[in-house]
Amino acid sequence: DAGVIQSPRHEVTEMGQEVTLRCKPISGHNSLFWYRQTMMRGLELLIYFNNNVPIDDSGMPEDRFSAKMPNASFSTLKIQPSEPRDSAVYFCASSSQGVGGNQPQHFGDGTRLSIL
């Protein structure tokens, strides 16, 4: 059974460019999460979706960040324009909908983003 699939694995781009990160959740999972990992702040939740609907985007840093989930099998996280401080590892995770978060989250391998 395929796990959470993220692409690209690595992205290096110049400041000001648009960056799009992609995620395919595990089939049958209806919750999807985007996280950012940095040395300073650890693993922090950016946004999560239930049944393709954004539920909590309070962790999205600013208007330069946007996320969409057009269907149950695909989500994107977009940064436009990108800045060097956006450099981090971005993880996508999915889980089956449980009451009060009683289902584990399954993480993808992450996208290592470097903004020059």
Q: Would you say 98 and 105 are in contact if contact means Cβ atoms under 8 Å apart?
A: no
Between 36 and 86, name the residue whose CB sits nearer to other proteins.
36
User: Which 25-64 positions form the footprint of other proteins (CB under 8 A)?
Assistant: 31, 33, 42-45, 48, 50, 55-56
Between 42 and 70, name the residue whose CB sits nearer to other proteins.
42
Between 16 and 98, name the residue whose CB sits nearer to other proteins.
98
CA gap 101, 35 in Å, rounded: 16
CA gap 9, 13 in Å, rounded: 13
User: Which 53-112 positions form the footprint of other proteins (CB under 8 A)?
Assistant: 55-56, 91, 93, 95, 97-98, 100-110
- Residue count at the site for other proteins (CB under 8 A)? 26
